[in-house]
Amino acid sequence: MAELTAKRPVSVPVMADLAARGESPEILFWVGCAGAFDDRYKRVTRAFVRILDHVGVNYAVLGMEESCTGDPAKRAGNEFLFQMQAMTNIATLDGYGIKKVVTACPHCFNTIKNEYPALGGNYEVIHHSTFLQQLINEGKVKAEGGESFKGRRITFHDSCYLGRANDIYEAPRAVLEVLDADLVEMKRCKTNGLCCGAGGAQMWKDAEPGNKEVNIERTEEALATLDGNADVLDNLRGVESTAPALPAGSNHGGSVIAVACPFCMTMMADGVKNKEREQDVQVFDLAELIASAEGLNA
Amino acid sequence: MHFSIQNIIFLLVALAGFGLFAWQASRIRANVLTGRDRDMSGHVNERLWKTLLVAFGQQKMFKRLTPAFLHLIVYVGFIVINIEVIEIMVDGLFGTHRFLQFAGPAYSALTGTNEILGALVIVAVTAFWWRRNANVVKRFTGPEMRAWPKMDGNIILYVEVVLMVALFLMNTADLKAHQLQNLTMPGAFPVSQFLTGLLPDSIPTLHALERVGWWAHIVGILLFLNYLPSSKHFHIIMAFPNVYFSRLIPQGQFSNVESITHEVRAMMDPSYPVPAPATNPDGSVVAPTPFGAKDVNDLAWTNLLNAYSCTECGRCTSVCPANITGKLLSPRKIIMDTRDRMEEKYNAPLIFSPALYGAAAKHDPQEQLDKENHTLLRGYVTPEELWACTTCNACVEACPVNINPLESIIEMRRFLVLEESAAPNALNAMFSNIENNGAPWAFSPSDRFNWADDLFVAEKA
């Protein structure tokens, strides 16, 4: 690990301040409610901001002016509340003349990109996985000088609202590639990816009666894939082993379930905890992995 | 050409067969058009291309190789053997015999291909029967796969075998009669040539058997055609329009409810001109439609078209995270329920009637159903099913003919929330958090920017 010579405070630019100075950012970072309030996902927000700051992107956030995109309301059938939220947010964004939005939340991403235009909100919206991929392609992020993930086993869990909903499968994988880790795919990946169980407003309610929680089913698949545990994989529905068994003691630093969505983060982390595997399997967002590999944490 | 009474009988049989089908098709069209308007016009090239790939090209079938190959055999058999049906029609109407024989080598190629495909279809259909009945494919089971869907699945397979056997009987008898008379039989018969030993040596009997095979094949096809509207096998026709009219927008995009947009705009800007309600020809105001869907006619016509395109393969249900983990939700059931409800409420096809399901077999648990208000929502589909959906689009992705169960689920959720205020309590709490705090959790909006406190970045040397 590179020697940390110094750290400096990051002052996150707020849109209202920029506007007061007559400035406009190149890109607006839409933080999302999870990114702003969820203790675990706040770390992702902070990691992403470190990257933005490090590469010198001209960005801003709405700060207190941001409000829920309305995604959970819309998925739950409350179209009225959704449109109230959407129009309020559109008024805010348009008031600042925002053209381009980046967000780490696939739900915010999908809603602003696909559902705001019908209500008059037209922006170029990109998900942080695509944004990070661009930074890597441009050579602005090299994933050097920080924590090494070389040889560590990582599996990426597709978010439904990034993958099937918007056909983004390669960007998060391209981001992980740069870590030079041992990437393994779950059998149910990409278009066939299994939901973490939180979409469609499930995040806010108990599951209907059944025989298993969705996040447990998915976590078992992820853990068995990371472990190369063929027996467990065979017992999961329709899943076969693809990764070779992990020799004991070969995975220093532990395996990683990589996610790119705040709800997937919660569900997978809960699943790992439920399976009592927190000591050797961690759940990280792409931004955290990159910030860490780039040595930006302070 | 030997014009005879047979040709007149054939004409009448063909007219009856096609006429009956046209009548059934018009009744189904009327059912589909009870759905709400939805503009699916335009983007013709894009739609045709998608139809070519997904419907003609079976693109999505190839996610699962074994059934894809078996299905491909039966599908190609259906397409190619139907070229021979054109010959049968012409022969039947004009008293010709194998009129396509003028094509010479091409005719040999056609008949030869037909025979090989016919044999492969019998093999594939046998494999399908085994998959369906020996409990080897889990997705063919489930609460919605009751007596009728199970029987229907087998009837289709039996009929296909009978049609192929009739084809071979016709060819073998014809071939043997030619051989016994030292005549050259036009065409190539790579399968029938090995079957001639099975038939008697009498030429009149062979002529009779050829006629039996010929009539059985064409009458079988006409009967089967009229069975389709009662069956999941209707997908062989409906898959094409269904794919053509399927969505071109991202799967994550849910529809916008225009009427609500007007209300919200008026609320935010009192000067917003709300469009006047539509009026009937007599000047009376058209009754407003409810928000979301309570019954089949509250769904869009494309959602109803979906229901007639479903072949009940269960790929949607087999990838549904809710279903996998034991919840009641099964996307296939939503689609099957939609068709059943349409046929109960509007036009039923000739053969199928919901009574074929047997009593009390509609839903388990029965007590969740509202027997008095027998609409799609609550009469067939229960809120418990709808609330189990994670909107993950796995079912949409899995469907080989682009059926979208998620749209119907969301429309029914909208009715529950907007018309009945019947969301689960936890979701009502989430709604009020969004209204009051601008976030789905009960956090104070003034804490929204706290994440940026004490934030440092490492200075890299």
pLDDT for B4: 81
In angstroms, the first-to-last Cα distance of chain B is 96
| A109, HSE (Cβ side, Cα atoms, 13 Å) | 25
How many angstroms separate the Cα of A60 from the Cα of each of A43, A50, A56, B130? 18, 13, 12, 62
Q: Which two tokens stand for residue A32?
A: 């999302």
Tokens matching residue A109: 């991403």
Length of chain B equals 461
pLDDT at B359: 47
A31 touches chain B (CB under 8 A): yes
Query: Listing from the earlier edge strand, what are the strands of the sheet with A100-103?
Result: A59-60, A27-30, A100-103, A124-127
- State what percent of residues in chain B have pLDDT above 70: 97
Evaluate whether residue B137 is within a structural domain. yes
Say if B312 falls within a structural domain: yes
For residues B25-54, average pLDDT: 96
Same domain (yes/no): B101, B12: yes
Tokens, residue A221: 């698949």
**Cβ distance of A84 and B253 shorter than 8 Å:** no
Q: What is the CATH number of domain A15-133?
A: 3.40.50.1860
Q: Residue A199: left (phi > 0), alpha (psi -120 to 50), or beta? A: beta
Helix (H, G, I), strand (E, B) or coil at B86: helix
User: Could you tell me if residue B110 is inside a domain?
Assistant: yes
Q: Do B390 and A50 touch (CB under 8 A)?
A: no
- DSSP 3-state assignment of B87? helix
Sign of CA dihedral B25, B30, B35, B41: positive
* Domain contains B442: no
The mean pLDDT of chain B is 93
As a whole number, mean pLDDT of residues A114-130 equals 98
Nearest to A44 by CA among A60, A28, A62, A31: A31
Distance CA A146, CA A149 (A): 9
**Nearest residue in B to A199, CA atom:** B390
Asked, for residue B44, whether it belongs to a domain, the answer is no
CB B431 within 8 A of CB A76: yes
In B, minimum Cα distance to A13 occurs at: B452
Instruction: Answer whether residue B272 is part of any domain.
Output: no
Residues B138 and B215 in one domain: yes
Tally of CB atoms within 10 A around B151: 12
Per-residue pLDDT, averaged over B210-221, amounts to: 95
The phi, psi pair for B324, rounded to 5°, reads -60, -35
User: Which pLDDT score is estimated for B355?
Assistant: 66
Residue contact B418–A46, C-beta within 8 A: no
Average pLDDT, chain A: 92
Those of residues 79-138 in A touching chain B at CB distance below 8 A are: 79-81, 83-85, 87-88, 91, 110, 113-115, 118-119
> To the nearest whole angstrom, how far is the Cα of A255 from the nearest Cα of chain B?
25
- Residue B242 domain-assigned? no
Average pLDDT estimate for A90-105? 98
Distance from the Cα of A251 to chain B's closest Cα (Å) equals: 27
Number of Cβ within 10 Å of residue B41's Cβ equals 8
In this complex, which of A7, A36, A70 lies closest to B458 when CB atoms are compared? A7
Which of A33, A45, A195 is closest, CB to CB, to B439? A33
Residue A75 touches partner B, C-beta closer than 8 Å: yes
Chain B residues touching A200 at Cβ < 8 A: 389-392
Q: Which residues of A touch B418 (CB under 8 A)?
A: 77-80
Instruction: Tell me which chain B residues have a C-beta less than 8 angstroms from the C-beta of A63.
Output: 448-449, 452
Which chain A residue has its CA at the smallest distance from B412's CA?
Answer: A77
Contact present, B385 and B415 (Cβ < 8 Å): no
- Give the span between the Cα atoms of B351 and A76, in whole angstroms: 39
Contact B460 A295 (CB under 8 A): yes
Q: Is the pLDDT of residue A89 over 80?
A: yes
Nearest CB to A118 within list B256, B325, B327? B256
Could you read off the pLDDT of A219-261 as tens digits, one per residue? 999 999 998 876 666 665 444 445 566 655 555 568 999 999 9
Question: B238: distance to nearest CA of chain A, Å?
Answer: 25
Tell me, yes or no, whether B300 and B174 share the same domain. no
CA dihedral A200, A203, A204, A208 (to 10 degrees): 80
Q: Over 70: is that where the pLDDT of B357 sits?
A: no
Partner-chain residue, chosen from A45, A204, A238, that has the shortest CB–CB distance to B430: A204
Contact at CB, B389 and A77, closer than 8 angstroms: no
Give pLDDT, residue B349.
86
* Chain A residues touching residue B316 (CB < 8 angstroms): none
Which pLDDT band holds residue B312 (cuts at 50, 70, 90)? very high
Same domain for B203 and B298: no
Q: Which residues of A touch B54 (CB under 8 A)?
A: none
- Residues carrying CATH 3.40.50.1860, chain A: 15-133
Mean pLDDT, rounded, for A176-186: 94
B-chain CB neighbours of A297 within 8 Å are 458
- pLDDT, tens only, B317-340: 999 999 999 999 999 999 999 999
Does B180 lie in the same domain as B104?
yes
| CATH at B392 | 1.10.1060
Establish if A268 touches chain B: CB-CB under 8 angstroms.
no
DSSP labels, B107-120:
HHHHHHHHHHHHHH
* Closest Cα in chain B to A161: B252
Of A6, A85, A165, the CB nearest to B393: A165
Pick the residue from chain A with its C-alpha nearest to B251.
A165
Residues A25-60 have pLDDT tens digits of 999 999 999 999 999 999 999 999 999 999 999 999
Alpha-carbon distance A68 to B438, whole Å? Answer: 5
Rounded Cα gap, residues B121 and B136, in angstroms: 20
Please write down the HEC assignment for all residues of chain A. CCCCCEEEECCCCEHHHHHHCCCCCCEEEECCHHHHHCHHHHHHHHHHHHHHHHHCCCEEECHHHCCCCCHHHHHCCCHHHHHHHHHHHHHHHHHCCCCEEEECCHHHHHHHHHHCHHHCCCCEEEEHHHHHHHHHHCCCCCCCCCCCCCCCEEEECCCCCCCCCCCCCHHHHHHHHCCCCEEECCCCCHHHCCCCCCCCCHHHCCCCCCCCCHHHHHHHHHHHHHHCCHHHHHHCCCCCCCCCCCCCCCCCCCEEEEECCHHHHHHHHHHHHHCCCCCCEEEEEHHHHHHHHCCCCC
What are the pLDDT digits (tens) for B283-298? 888 888 899 999 999 9
Interface contacts (A, B; CB < 8 Å) = 256
Residue B243 lies in a domain: no
Label residue B366 by pLDDT band (50, 70, 90).
confident
Instruction: Look at chain B and report how many structural domains it folds into.
Output: 2
**What is the structure's pLDDT at B264?**
94
Q: Quick one: pLDDT at residue B449?
A: 97
Query: For B418-425, what is the mean pLDDT?
Result: 97
For B89-139, how does the pLDDT look when each residue is reduced to its tens digit (9 = 90+)?
999 999 899 999 999 999 999 999 999 999 999 999 999 999 999 988 999
Q: Given the DSSP bridges, would you call strands A124-127 and A182-184 parallel, antiparallel or unpaired?
A: unpaired
A192–B423 C-beta distance less than 8 A: no
Residue of A214, A235, A266, A274 to mutate, testing the B interface (most B Cβ within 10 Å of its Cβ): A214
Q: What is the structure's pLDDT at A239? A: 42
- Euclidean distance between CA atoms A240 and B179, whole angstroms: 55
pLDDT beyond 70 at B363: no
Residues B12 and B97 reside in one and the same domain: yes
| Cα gap A289→A260, rounded to integer Å | 11
DSSP H or E segment with residue B459? strand B456-459
With beta carbons less than 8 A apart as the criterion, state whether A254 and A152 touch. yes
Angle subtended by helix axes B65-94 and B147-180, to nearest 10: 50
Inspect the interface and report whether the beta carbons of A74 and B254 lie closer than 8 Å.
yes
Distance from CA of B396 to the nearest CA of A (A): 9
Calculate mean pLDDT across residues B34-53. 96
- B401's tokens: 């003919």
Backbone dihedral angles phi then psi of residue B426, each to the nearest 5 degrees:
-60, -35
Structural domain for B405, as ranges: 290-426
Within this chain, do residues B171 and B312 fall inside the same structural domain, yes or no? Answer: no
Q: Is the pLDDT of residue B358 over 70?
A: no
Residues of B in contact with A66 (CB under 8 A): 438, 448
* pLDDT attached to residue B318: 96
Taking alpha carbons only, the member of B437, B180, B382 closest to residue A64 is B437
Cα separation of B314 and B331, whole Å?
A: 8
Q: Do B252 and A114 touch (CB under 8 A)?
A: yes
Q: Give the model's pLDDT for residue A1.
A: 46
Among all chains, which residue has been given the structure tokens 């933005």?
A52
Q: What are the backbone dihedrals phi and psi of residue B329, each rounded to the nearest 5 degrees, phi first?
A: -60, 130
Q: Which of residues 156-215 of A touch B (CB under 8 A)?
A: 160-161, 164-167, 191-195, 197-214
Q: A14 and B449: CB-CB below 8 Å? A: yes
Same domain, B88 and B221: yes
Pairing of strands A100-103, A153-156: unpaired
pLDDT at A254: 85
pLDDT-based confidence at residue A298 (cuts at 50, 70, 90): confident
Of residues A122 and A298, which shows the higher confidence score? A122
Please answer yes or no on whether A164 and B390 come within 8 Å at the CB atom. no
Q: Residue A142: which residues within 8 A CB-CB, separation 6 or more?
A: A136, A178, A294
Q: Is the peptide bond before B149 cis (omega within 30 degrees of 0)?
A: no
In chain A, residues with a C-beta closer than 8 Å to the C-beta of B435 are 81, 84
Asked if B105 and B206 sit in the same domain, the reply is yes
